[in-house]
Chain A
Amino acid sequence: MGHIIIIGLNHRTAPVEIRERLAFSADTIGHALRGLLERESLREGVILSTCNRVEVCALSHQGFRGAAEVKEFMAAYHGIPLGEVNGYLYHYEGEEAVRHLFRVASSLDSMVLGEPQILGQVKDAYGYASEFRSIGPILDKFFSKAFSVAKRVRSETRVASSAVSVSYAAVELAKKIFGDLADKTVMLIGAGEMCELAARHLISAGVKGIMVTNRTFERAVKLAEEFGGTPVRFDELPVHLKRADIVLSSTGAPHFIIRKKEVEEVIRIRRNRPMFFIDMAVPRDIDPDANQVDNVYVYDIDDLNNVIETNLEERQKEARKAEEIVAEEVRSFRRWLDAQQVTPTIVTLRRKFEEIKNAEVAKAVSVLGAESPKTRKVVESLASSILNKVLHAPIAALKKDADGRNQMELVALVREIFDLPDSPEQAGSGEEEDAGKTPPE
């Protein structure tokens, strides 16, 4: 029996130092996926690695063992003793894993609820897995479903629009503070999705330049390249801060990285030219007291949300609506998943052939016109024995090695070539309809 497991850590469970140590970079992800599937009980795998989360989703055919193997893999791949990171990892299996991925893709698990970039990142993770052939029929269906859930959440709730308007509000505020943005410079600290979104908005609003800094300098370089900006070393931040008019921050630091005293110092050096700090981090990066300094404006994510006047109550209402959609989709995916097991597949397969047999027997009997029990019995036993012999091999193959590595592919294959519906009940009703449409000759 196949088991979906997700092992991961995110901005809530682990500080940035740990997340960075466990992150997978895009150029080595193929290698990582291969390493993952070398583990004995793992069949399919997808790795999602963003600045706020690292998650490994795998299909295990040995339940419990699989989860342990994923953890071992994550630690071993990065050369870290498992004991050091184990406490930061969460672990979802089965239905919980399904719910988790659906929530992640729908941006319900994001630092900023509804931020739109996570879906693209999940799609990228899926893309890598397809490219390196680490994904099979189950996870393929799982991720496709996650994308459609995210789409539903986006179109049926206003969870996403609030995040977009947060970064829009940040740009509007910047315009009210600075007027023309054309000679303004942005400093991007860390690499949260919301910050990147706001940075993009600011760039399209026409800011002069952008500096990017990150604890990991390579990331800063990469992001700076993406934005056409300048990378700055994290420890040189205090030196460059004075050149920034707008500061966008979203690091995973557990404490303030910019305190009021530093802001006072910088604003003095800038001869009071205004500064606008946008703090997207949770917990916050910038001391909110810095807002008291003249010509300094500090907004955190809650402030921005308040500005756009979607009050907390309304946002919670939308989030609840989204959670309901997720719950509904989890149930429907679970039905599909259950159907992928050996026993229900055999039942459905048998049911389907029984339906065909019964219909054909009825036809044959009516054509022969012989209502004698004997004729009927002969026809029926002929059909039954053909059916049993035809089905013997596929059913034997399904039953054999029920926990084997190929078993899941086999189930999927059988379901596909025999066009089996997700539940045995549906098989029955489907056949009846078909039989009704084709009148006996």
Chain B
Amino acid sequence: MMHISLLKVTAFFYLAGSLLYLYFIITLNERGARLGRMSLLIGVLLHATGFVLRYAAAGYTPVTNLFESLSFFALAIAGTFLVVEIRYNLRTLGSFVAPLAFVFSIFAAFLPGEVAGLAPALNSYWLPIHVMLLFIGDAVFAVAFGAGIMYLLQEKQVKRKKMGAMFKRLPSLDVLDDINYRCLTIGFPLLTLGIITGSIWAEYAWGSYWSWDPKETWSLITWLLYAALLHGRLTVGWRGRKAAILAIVGFGAVLFTFLGVNLLLPGLHSYSSLSR
């Protein structure tokens, strides 16, 4: 079916984008960054088209199983990255974030992509709201993760006074820290709303707002991590290295909540485990 091939072929564009951005950061050849952005943009457009076509074919928002969620996550990361990249003109960020979009889309591409029909419990208008809020929030955290890695790389060079090849390529510490903060102020409300809508939906579907299902528990852990970071930033002025490390750890929690729980810990949210 058209939408399956569209969703799977995007992995190629994300790969090309990643390689072009890597080429750019190594050679500093502007064309690498321009073509990388172009490639990601085409990927995102095809991806979005595939998403809409699948929505039309299936009759529900296609974020219900592992294939669909991974694919949508990749789309959200690539889209968020393009927004940040254009906003900050931060081309080096592509070398760190575009590969994430590729990894998730290639992971999806190896899964069966057929429309499987909607589990009755998921048949609700909360589905797109709850899931998309969380995935877009997670994509914003993915950008913060990339910026966090870049911050640590750059900070290490400035601190140890050993300027390697990355020194002039990476942006200033201040810009990277600013991205960390902006991502936090956007990602955290999305995460919070995602959890709240999920909780409301759970009340309707399962009759309880919160039932300590592994997904819920890990979402709470993730939420607490980002809440701590935001709180630290706002009250004591945490920033820089500490904030970068927390953004990296936080994204680790995001990934575990998404994939680790799906693949390892069975629970109420097991719609998107591999077995299905």
Q: Tell me, in angstroms, the Cα distance from A271 to B235 when the chains sit together.
A: 9
Determine how close the nearest CB of chain B comes to the CB of A290; give it in whole angstroms. 12
Query: Across the two chains, which residue of chain B brings its CB closest to A276?
Result: B158
Q: Closest Cβ of chain A: how far from B204's Cβ, in Å?
A: 44
Cβ contact of A272, chosen from B154, B171, B238, cutoff 8 A? B238
27 A–B contacts, CB within 8 A, in A order:
A176-B154, A176-B158, A176-B172, A177-B173, A178-B172, A178-B174, A179-B171, A179-B175, A179-B178, A270-B237, A271-B236, A271-B237, A272-B236, A272-B239, A272-B240, A274-B174, A274-B240, A291-B159, A294-B240, A294-B241, A294-B242, A295-B239, A295-B241, A297-B158, A299-B161, A303-B161, A306-B161
Binary interface profile of B, 172-205, with partner A (CB < 8 Å = 1, else 0)? 1111001000000000000000000000000000
Whether, in the assembled complex, B28 has its beta carbon less than 8 Å from a beta carbon of chain A, the answer is no
* A200 in contact (CB, < 8 A): no
User: CB-CB < 8 A to A295: which residues of B?
Assistant: 239-241
Cβ of B60 within 8 Å of any chain A Cβ, yes or no, is no
Contact A177 B174, beta carbon cutoff 8 Å: yes
Bound form: Cα–Cα A175–B174 in Å: 9
Known: A173-B158, A179-B178, A297-B159. 15 other contacts (CB 8 A): A175-B172, A176-B154, A176-B158, A178-B172, A179-B175, A180-B174, A271-B236, A272-B236, A272-B238, A272-B239, A274-B174, A274-B240, A294-B241, A295-B241, A307-B161
A176 to B175: give the CA distance in the assembly, Å.
Answer: 9
Q: Is the CB of A177 within 8 A of B172?
A: yes
| A273 CB-CB contact with B under 8 Å | yes
Asked if A272 and B174 make an inter-chain contact with CB atoms under 8 angstroms apart, the answer reads: no
Q: Chain A nearest CB: distance from B25 CB in Å?
A: 16
CB contacts (< 8 Å) of B167 on chain A: these are 176
Please give, as numbers and ranges, the residues of chain B lying within 8 Å of A180 by CB-CB distance: 174
- A427 to chain B minimum Cβ distance, whole angstroms, is 60
Distance, CA A179 to CA B172, complexed state (A): 5
Verify B173–A274 contact, CB threshold 8 A: yes
Q: Please tell me if B163 contacts chain A, counting CB pairs below 8 Å.
A: yes
CB distance from B193 to the nearest CB of A (A): 29
| Bound-complex Cα distance A173 to B160 (A) | 13
Contact residues of A between 180 and 217, Cβ < 8 Å to B: 180
**Secondary structure type dominating chain A contacts:** mixed
- Chain B residue contacts of A173, Cβ below 8 A: 158
A180 to B240, CA, bound (A): 16
CB neighbours of A270 from chain B (8 A)? 237
Interface residues on B, range: 10 to 19
Chain B residues with CB below 8 A from A303, complex form: 161
- Going nearest first, the 5 A-B pairs with the smallest beta carbon separation are A271-B237, A179-B172, A179-B174, A272-B237, A295-B240
Chain A residues whose CB sits within 8 angstroms of the CB of B236 once the complex forms? 271-272
Q: Which residues of B contact A297 (CB under 8 A)?
A: 158-159
Interface string of A289-320 (1 = CB under 8 A from B): 00100110101000100110000000000000
Residues of A that sit less than 8 Å from B by CB:
173, 175-180, 270-274, 291, 294-295, 297, 299, 303, 306-307
Q: Whose C-beta in chain A lies nearest to the C-beta of B171?
A: A179
Residue of B nearest to A304 (CB): B161
Please measure, in the bound complex, the distance between the C-alpha atom of A295 and the C-alpha atom of B176, giving whole angstroms: 13
Q: Chain A residue with minimal CB distance to B236?
A: A271
Query: Which residues of A sit under 8 angstroms from B159, Cβ to Cβ?
Result: 291, 297
Q: Contact partner of B158 among A177, A272, A294, CB < 8 A?
A: A177
B176, closest chain A residue (CB): A179
Q: Name the A residues within 8 Å of B175 (CB-CB).
A: 179
Q: A165 CB to closest chain B CB, in angstroms? A: 13
Q: How far is the CA of A201 from the CA of B173 in the complex (A)?
A: 21
Chain B nearest Cβ from A321, distance in angstroms: 27
Report how far A271 CA is from B236 CA in the complex, Å. Answer: 6
Which residue on chain A has the smallest CB distance to residue B241? A294
Minimum distance in angstroms from A207 CB to a CB of chain B: 14
B237 (CB) vs chain A CBs: closest residue? A271
Within 8 Å CB of A299, what residues of B? 161
Complex Cα distance, B25 from A6, in Å, reads 56
A145 to chain B, nearest CB (A): 40
A273 to B239, CA, bound (A): 8
Task: Return A170 CB to nearest CB of chain B, in Å.
Answer: 12
Interface residues of B in 110-165 (CB under 8 A from A): 154, 158-159, 161, 163
CB-defined contacts of B240 to chain A, threshold 8 Å: 272, 274, 294-295
Contacts of A306 in B (CB 8 A): 161
Closest residue of B by beta carbon distance from A180: B174
Which residues of chain A come closer than 8 Å to B237, judged between CB atoms? 270-273
Residues from chain B with a CB closer than 8 A to the CB of A273 are 237, 239
Cα distance, A270 to B171, chains bound together (Å): 23
List the B side residues contacting A175 at CB < 8 Å: 172
Nearest CB of A to B206, in Å: 44
Which B-chain residue is minimally distant from A270 (CB atoms)? B237
CB distance from A146 to the nearest CB of B (A): 36
Instruction: Please report the C-alpha to C-alpha distance between residue A295 and residue B240 in the assembled complex, in whole angstroms.
Output: 7
Q: Which residue of B lies closest to A174 (CB)?
A: B172
Max count, chain A CB within 10 A of own CB: residue among B161, B163, B173, B178 = B161
How close is B87's CB to chain A, nearest CB, in angstroms? 15
